[in-house]
Structure 1
Amino acid sequence: MKISLEEIDKSNYEAVCDLDVTKEQEEYVACNMWSLVEAHYNSGHTCKAIYENGQPIGFLMWVLETESKISIWRFMVDQNHQKKGIGREALKMALEEIAAYPAIKEIEICYNPKNPVAKDFYASFGFKEVGMDEGGEDMIALIKL
């Protein structure tokens, strides 16, 4: 299994938009098409396709929130490619890429607090919960670099 993070462009955006999570996960994950539109019209957004053996099978988007903080806003692996360790490898690669920005001191992620799988998964990378977001819907977790 060869995992990579690739730029999204006219050659692969349709394949990225066609990726889906399971029905049970839909309420937790934004549509990839919406995320690409959002990134196009806002500055500081970075989108990456998660590839396995040359095929797009997932999506990541992070946003420069401040000069020293990046937030991971989107992260998904297609339902047909889950439970193979791809998400773990892709997030590891994304965190390494983000940490390479010299000014970045914090990486933030948020998730539904009713999703124990997400909590344990992100904690395994060193994310520490810091409290709920302003709307009181999502848990915010940070890695300090």
Structure 2
Amino acid sequence: MTITLQPVSQKNYEDVCDLEVAKDQEDYVAENMWSIVESTFNEGYETRAIYRDDKVVGFFMWVKESIEKISIWRFMVDSQHQNQGIGRKALTIALDEIKQVPKLKEIEICYQPDNPVAGDFYGSFGFIEVGMDEDDDDMLAIIKL
């Protein structure tokens, strides 16, 4: 099994839009179609399709908030491909790519605090919870570089 990240393009955007999370995860993840629209009309948004070999199985989107900060806004693996180590490998690849951005000092991710696996999963990559966002909806976690 080879996991890669490739830019979302005319070639693969329909496959990305067709991905779905499990029913009990739908409240935690925005629709990929909406994310692709956002990235098309906003500067500093990066989208990646997660591939397992030659098949699209997931999606990432991160946003350059400032010269020193990037936020991961979207991260999902299709329900049929979960619990196979794909998400862990994909996040490792994404973080390696993000860390190459010059002058970057912080990577941020947010998640709903009632998501049963997010805190431990992101914590295993070095994300440290710093408190709730300004709307008091999502937990913020950061990696300082």
Q: TM-score range by the shorter chain?
A: over 0.9
**Residue 13 (1) aligns with residue 13 (2):** yes
**4+ aligned runs moved over 2 Å, structure 1:** none
User: Following the alignment from structure 2 to structure 1, what is the Cα–Cα distance between the partners of residues 116 and 19?
Assistant: 23
Where does structure 2 lack aligned partners over 5 or more consecutive residues? Answer: none
Q: For residues 51-83 of structure 1, give each alpha carbon's deviation from its aligned partner in whole angstroms, at most 9, with x where no partner exists.
A: 001111000000000110000000000000000
Shift of 1:140: 0.2
Shift of 1:132: 0.4
Shift of 1:22: 0.4
Shift of 1:102: 1.6
Shift of 1:111: 0.4
User: Following the alignment from structure 2 to structure 1, what is the Cα–Cα distance between the partners of residues 107 and 121?
Assistant: 15
1:26 aligns with 26
1:86 aligns with 86
Please tell me the residue identity of whatever aligns with 2:40. H
**Residue 97 (1) aligns with residue 93 (2):** no
Please tell me the residue identity of whatever aligns with 2:32. N
Q: For residues 35-64 of structure 1, give each alpha carbon's deviation from its aligned partner in whole angstroms, at most 9, with x where no partner exists.
A: 000010100000000000111100000000
**SS in structure 2 at match of 1:66:** coil
**Residue 37 (1) aligns with residue 37 (2):** yes
After superposition, where does 1:1-145 map in structure 2 within 5 Å? Answer: 1-145=1-145
Q: CA RMSD in A?
A: 0.5
Q: For residues 1-28 of structure 1, give each alpha carbon's deviation from its aligned partner in whole angstroms, at most 9, with x where no partner exists.
A: 1000001111110010000000000000
Shift of 1:116: 3.0
Query: TM-score, normalised to structure 2's length?
Result: 0.99
Shift of 1:115: 1.3
User: Following the alignment from structure 2 to structure 1, what is the Cα–Cα distance between the partners of residues 119 and 127?
Assistant: 9
Percent identical pairs in the alignment equals 61
**SS in structure 2 at match of 1:33:** helix
